[in-house]
């Protein structure tokens, strides 16, 4: 059962569901999303996930200096530059209705794994999640989540 099925089961109208999706930013137009970019792929993956009741959030990773010239690191698996070089957490992080952790590294449509150092670090993250019972994959928005 996904979120839509659950809402309908409890008598929540389609209008209320549409309003909810709009309020939380899940009402993008797939037909108008850019089919050739990583951004378009991410929109399609997030919309597909939402239709299955999966919540996904953007996991921005990086570092910046604060007003006191202290380096602030943000994002998962980014405790240090060395860690971020070795393992790179995915673009989207979330949870299935059954509680399973979900991780998706978004790539533009047509992408194929080539084994670059960045891709290897992203694959190490995916393997860590899979080994821990989570659901992790690379996704291009060209089919299944």
Element at 65 (helix H, strand E)? strand 62-65
pLDDT grade for 7, boundaries at 50, 70 and 90: confident
pLDDT grade for 114, boundaries at 50, 70 and 90: very high
* Radius of gyration from C-alpha coordinates of the chain: 17
Instruction: Tell me how many domains the chain contains.
Output: 1
- Angstrom distance (rounded) from CA 4 to CA 143: 20
Q: What is the CATH number of the domain that holds 105?
A: 3.40.1350.10
Mean pLDDT to the nearest integer, 28-36: 57
**pTM, rounded to two decimals:** 0.75
Percent composition of the chain: helix, strand, coil (DSSP 3-state, to 5):
40, 20, 45
| CB of 30 closer than 8 Å to CB of 36 | no
| Residue 89 domain boundaries | 3-139
- The residues that bridge with 44 in the sheet, in sequence order, are none
Mean pLDDT to the nearest integer, 52-76: 96
Does residue 144 lie within any of the structural domains? no
**Two tokens at 79?**
């405790």
Does residue 70 lie within any of the structural domains? yes
6 vs 56, higher pLDDT: 56
């Amino acid at each position: 059962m996904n979120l839509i099925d659950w809402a309908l089961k409890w008598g929540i109208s389609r209008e209320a569901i549409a309003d909810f999706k709009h309020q939380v930013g899940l009402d993008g137009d797939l037909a108008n999303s850019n089919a050739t970019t990583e951004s378009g792929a991410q929109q399609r993956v997030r919309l597909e996930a939402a239709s299955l009741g999966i919540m996904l959030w953007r996991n921005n990773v990086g570092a910046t200096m604060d007003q006191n010239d202290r380096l602030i690191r943000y994002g998962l698996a980014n405790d240090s530059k060395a860690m971020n070089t070795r393992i790179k957490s995915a673009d989207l992080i979330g949870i299935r209705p059954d509680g399973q952790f979900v991780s998706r590294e978004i790539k533009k449509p047509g992408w194929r794994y080539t084994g670059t150092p960045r891709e290897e670090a992203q694959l190490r993250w995916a393997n860590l999640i899979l080994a821990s019972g989570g659901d992790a994959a690379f996704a291009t928005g060209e089919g299944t989540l």
